[in-house]
Amino acid sequence: MEIKRQKELVEHFHYDFKLPEQEAETELKVGFAPLKPTENYPKENTILGARLEFKIVFPKFILSGSVSQLNHLVNRKVETQTDLTQEEINEIARPLFKIVERMSYEVTEIALDQPGVKLNFAKQTTEAPLDPQEK
């Protein structure tokens, strides 16, 4: 599948101090939506919006936000998210997870004044220790 990607858009990104009594759970939500093309857009292609909403909970802080990206699928029609295979979903969403990994590392490095927290969504889990002090 050929994908022509537009630049990722960081809609919002938060680093929030977590109170000890604060209850929260990690959540990752990925969604896709075919968008209506302009008049001159090739009929065999699809414009697909991809969005990742996330909340990643650690004992002392919470990272949350959303990122999105427009993708042009060349010679591929997609009417609904169910038209995509799991491999295609992973390929389309990969840049969104990569930018969250990068922002998480950079922000936690600054906020904690130590090496940043490394997330690794490639295995569909976070590789970061639950407490950044455990490094």
**Residue partners of 18: CB distance under 8 A and separation at least 6:** 24, 57, 58, 59, 60, 61, 62
Residue 130 has pLDDT above 50, yes or no: no
- The pTM (predicted TM-score) of the whole model is 0.85
Q: Tell me the per-residue pLDDT of 21-49, one tens digit each, with 9 for 90 and over.
A: 999 999 999 999 999 998 899 999 999 99
By the 10 Å C-beta count (0-12 exposed, 13-18 middle, 19+ buried), 40 is classed as exposed
The position carrying tokens 């599948």 is: 1
pLDDT at 133: 39
Per-residue confidence (pLDDT) for residue 123, from 0 to 100? 57
